[in-house]
Amino acid sequence: MSKFLSKRLQNLEPYTPGEQPQDQQYIKLNTNENPYPPSPWAAEAINAAAVNQLRLYSDPTCEKLLQAIATRYELQPEQVMPGNGSDENLFFALRAFCDEDTPLAYADVTYGCYKVWAGLLHIPSHVIPLEKDFSLDPKKYYSLGGETIVIANPNAPTGMALPAAEIEKIVQANAGGVVIVDEAYVDFGGESCVPLIKKYPNLLVVQTFSKSRSLAGARLGFAMGSAELIADLNRVKFSLNPYNINRLTLLAGETAMRDEDYFRRTCGIVAATRETTAQELAKRGFAVLPSKANFVFARTDKMAGGALYAALKEKGILVRHFDAPRIADWLRISIGKPEDMHKLMEALDAILENASRANAAQPTD
């Protein structure tokens, strides 16, 4: 920290991303990436001609991409805003719809960036604890008096989802504030709130290409809402970085969005692998939360979360462990290919067997 850093930022605790080792020696189940490649249409679109075009700025309006998204979600292009990752969409939304007098309401156990951005932007946080079983009680979000609300649905890192009808009641009860629904994982089995956009001018839905369309490294997300809300977001974008999406990403995104068959097929495989993974973990005595995402959140009585994370890493398998209140004994395990999950189970069997032998060997008095 230099002596020049603004005092307001000195207590800021930045988000810690999951480990991104730059070699391939790990089975990577720690940052919810898709194990399957992006649509082959995206690879085709990013060709030598496209690379040559990199000398020119990208389209600041992202016209073709917005058209593809609008067609897919039955919206007008004016109801969509692209982002450099949905992280940027969410950040722009907080910049646009929160301030010192308009707090941000969110759950205690949810995506860690909400808290970080609120800190960076000097936005007061209104933290609403999840229930004991990590479910979200919608009633606790009724009538928050104009606060901005953000709900990840399905939630991270739990994977648990609310029906769209329950979110709708929250949107209805908060007509005086914006409700942001972060649908980063919705394509793996959640129920989207996009169809509600035409009924509610205070609803903003944010999605990403990172998970269900296998484009995490391209950095592409999109916000959807009334044309008025989207105009507000564009006000922020054009005040910061008009060319926020690069040319190659625009091409990859537009083509991947049009490849509906590939999208459905790969999401279906991931969802099916999630179900067998949850069953295999349960067989081994794990508690597993009901997930609609491309990861499961699980714990065992046999070993502490941090120790199990370290033992798996030792065996070449990366999962995510959060050293945070309520969830320190849980691991978030991304869904890989079936063969990755098979290796995970073999590793868990070896680790837990070892742990129980070590326990048995201990003197009992």
Ligand X SMILES: *Cc1c(COP(=O)(O)O)cnc(C)c1O
* Residue among 170 and 220 whose Cβ is closer to ligand X: 220
* From 66-74, 79-87, 232-240, 270-278, span contacting ligand X (CB under 6 A): 79-87
The minimum distance between CB 55 and ligand X, in angstroms, equals 27
Per-residue string for binding with ligand X, 213-252, x by CB under 6 A?
A: ---x----x-------------------------------
Helices 305-314 and 338-360, axial angle in degrees (round to 10): 120
Q: Are strands 221-224 and 203-208 parallel, antiparallel or unpaired?
A: antiparallel
Number of other CB atoms surrounding residue 47 within 10 Å: 10
The minimum distance between CB 72 and ligand X, in angstroms, equals 17
* Residue among 182 and 254 whose Cβ is closer to ligand X: 182
Number of H helices, E strands in the chain: 11, 13
* Residue among 311 and 330 whose Cβ is closer to ligand X: 330
Per-residue string for binding with ligand X, 106-125, x by CB under 6 A?
A: -----x--------------
Residues 129-188 that bind ligand X (CB under 6 A): 152, 156, 182, 184
Q: CA Rg, the chain, in Å?
A: 21
Q: Which helix (H) or strand (E) element contains residue 343? A: helix 338-360
Q: Is 112 helix (H, G, I), strand (E, B) or coil?
A: coil
The minimum distance between CB 244 and ligand X, in angstroms, equals 12
* From 82-90, 242-250, 275-283, 303-311, span contacting ligand X (CB under 6 A): 82-90
**Length of the chain in residues, anyone?**
365
* Residue among 162 and 311 whose Cβ is closer to ligand X: 162
The minimum distance between CB 340 and ligand X, in angstroms, equals 19
The minimum distance between CB 291 and ligand X, in angstroms, equals 13
Q: Which of 58, 210, 226, 266 binds ligand X (CB under 6 A)?
A: 210
The minimum distance between CB 359 and ligand X, in angstroms, equals 35
Number of other CB atoms surrounding residue 92 within 10 Å: 25
* Residue among 210 and 234 whose Cβ is closer to ligand X: 210
Q: Check: CB of residue 223 under 8 Å from CB of residue 234.
A: no
Q: Check: CB of residue 242 under 8 Å from CB of residue 60.
A: yes
Residue that the structure tokens 């979200």 belong to? 136
The minimum distance between CB 3 and ligand X, in angstroms, equals 32
Per-residue string for binding with ligand X, 28-47, x by CB under 6 A?
A: ----x---------------
Q: Check: CB of residue 192 under 8 Å from CB of residue 163.
A: no
Write down the H helix ranges in the chain. Answer: 40-45, 48-52, 63-73, 86-97, 113-120, 164-173, 227-240, 247-258, 260-283, 305-314, 338-360
From the number of C-beta atoms within 10 Å of its C-beta (0-12, 13-18, 19+), residue 312 rates as: buried
Q: Kindly state the tokens that stand for 195.
A: 């169809």
* Residue among 39 and 300 whose Cβ is closer to ligand X: 39
Q: Which of 79, 86, 174, 266 binds ligand X (CB under 6 A)?
A: 86
The minimum distance between CB 24 and ligand X, in angstroms, equals 20
* Residue among 221 and 305 whose Cβ is closer to ligand X: 221
CA nearest 162: which of 175, 178, 173, 151? 151
Residue nearest to ligand X (CB): 85
How many chain residues interact with ligand X (CB under 6 A)? 13
Q: Is the peptide bond before 157 cis (omega within 30 degrees of 0)?
A: yes
* Cα gap 292→352, rounded to integer Å: 27
Binding site for ligand X (CB under 6 A): 32, 85-87, 111, 152, 156, 182, 184, 208, 210, 216, 221
